[in-house]
Amino acid sequence: MKEEILFLVDGVTFCYGKYEVLHNITFEVREGEIIGIIGPNGAGKSTLLKLLAGYLLPERGSIAFLGQNLKKYEKRTLARYIATLPQALDPPFSYTVEEFILMGRYPHFQRGFFYGSEHQEFVADIMETMDMGHLTGRQMNSLSEGERQKVYLAQCIAQDPKVLLLDEPVSHLDIKHQMHTLELLENLHSEGLTILMVLHDLNLASEFCSRVVLLSKGGVYADGIPQETLTFNNIEEVYDTVVIVKENPISKKPFIIPVSKKYLNL
C-alpha cells in the first residue's frame, strides 16, 4: 500500500527582503518517513522548516498539506496535525514543567484550558518516557538550555501530531541525551509518526534518518537514503571540507570523518 503524501512542495522560493534564501524547491514528504535536513549554515534549512510549519509563506510556488494549500488551514486546525520545535528556545514565563507540557494539549480542546486527571497522567507518562522525572515541579525559567530543549520536545509530543518538525532537536544535549532523544523519536516513528528534523551532525542524520535531504545555496543538492546522499563527493562539494566516508560496521550506514587541513600536505 502506497503511503499518503503529507507535504507536496512545488517550486517554492522564499526571500528575506531582497535576499533569496530558497529557490525553486520541489519535493514531497510521505507518511511514515523520518527525514533529516542537512546543509551548511545559510543553506535555508530552518527557513524550509518554517515554511512547512506555516510560519512563513512562499514568495513563489506552493506547499500543500494533505492535498490542501497550507495557507488555507486555520492555525488551530493545523496545530492538531503538525507540532514544531524551533531552533531558538527563549526562556518562557514562569510555568512549571508540567504546566508547559500540558499546553501541548490545547489544540484538542474546543475552548479554554480544561485539563482533567487523564491529561496529567498523559504528561506524567511522557516525562517518564523521556527520563525527565527529575524536572517535576521545576520552573521553566530555572532550567538549562538542554533541559528546556527536552521540555519543548515533550510539549510537541503531548500535542499528539501527525507530523513533527524539529529544528536541531539535540543541539544542546550531551551525547547520552542525544542518543536517548533520537531513540525516542525513532520509536515514535515506528508507531507511525512522520518526522522532519534539521541536524548539523551528519553521523546522527545517517544513523537515525530513513532519508536525507542535503541543501546547498538555497536548493536541493541531493535527496535520498543516507547511502545515496552522504557520499564524500556530495559532502566535500557542499561543505567545502575534506572528509573520509566509511561504513559503520554495525549499522552499515555512512560514517563521516572530517579531515583537518594540516594532514593534507603530508
Closest by Cα among 142, 191, 200 to 170: 200
At residue 145, the pLDDT reads 83
Please write the tens of the pLDDT for every residue from 8-23.
Answer: 999 999 999 999 999 9
Tell me the C-alpha distance between 26 and 68, whole Å.
16
Phi, psi of 124 (to 5 degrees): -60, -40
The stretch 249-258 carries a mean pLDDT of 96
Would you say residue 115 lies in a domain? yes
Domain boundary among 115, 135, 159: 159
CA-derived radius of gyration, the chain? 19
Shared-domain flag, residues 76 and 165: yes
Shared-domain flag, residues 53 and 171: yes
pLDDT band, very low/low/confident/very high, at 2 (cuts 50, 70, 90): low
Phi, psi of 30 (to 5 degrees): -100, 155
Would you say residue 37 lies in a domain? yes
The stretch 183-209 carries a mean pLDDT of 95
At residue 213, the pLDDT reads 98
Cβ contact 60:11 at 8 Å: yes
Shared-domain flag, residues 94 and 54: no
At residue 104, the pLDDT reads 84
At residue 117, the pLDDT reads 64
Between 132 and 109, name the one with better pLDDT.
132
In the chain, alpha helices (H): 45-53, 75-79, 97-102, 117-129, 145-158, 175-190, 202-208, 226-229, 232-239
Cβ contact 215:37 at 8 Å: yes
At residue 116, the pLDDT reads 60
pLDDT band, very low/low/confident/very high, at 265 (cuts 50, 70, 90): confident
Would you say residue 261 lies in a domain? no
Identify the domain containing residue 150 by its residue range.
89-159
Closest by Cα among 130, 190, 183 to 156: 130
DSSP run (H or E) holding 135: none
Please write the tens of the pLDDT for every residue from 215-246.
Answer: 999 999 999 999 999 999 999 999 999 999 99
Work out whether strand 34-38 and strand 194-198 pair parallel, antiparallel, or are unpaired.
parallel
Shared-domain flag, residues 151 and 169: no
Count of domains forming the chain: 2
Please write the tens of the pLDDT for every residue from 143-183.
Answer: 888 888 889 899 998 888 999 999 999 988 899 989 999 99
pLDDT band, very low/low/confident/very high, at 64 (cuts 50, 70, 90): very high
At residue 28, the pLDDT reads 96
Would you say residue 244 lies in a domain? no
For 191, residues 6+ apart whose C-beta sits below 8 A from its C-beta are: none
Please write the tens of the pLDDT for every residue from 77-123.
Answer: 898 899 998 876 666 667 899 988 988 877 776 555 555 666 778 88
Shared-domain flag, residues 150 and 226: no
Tell me the C-alpha distance between 164 and 18, whole Å.
30
Does pTM top 0.85 for this prediction? yes
Please write the tens of the pLDDT for every residue from 25-58.
Answer: 999 999 999 999 999 999 999 999 999 999 999 9
Let me know how long the chain is.
Answer: 266
Shared-domain flag, residues 209 and 144: no
At residue 110, the pLDDT reads 59
At residue 109, the pLDDT reads 67
Cβ contact 185:208 at 8 Å: yes
User: Does the structure show a pLDDT above 70 at 214?
Assistant: yes
Please write the tens of the pLDDT for every residue from 197-208.
Answer: 999 999 999 999
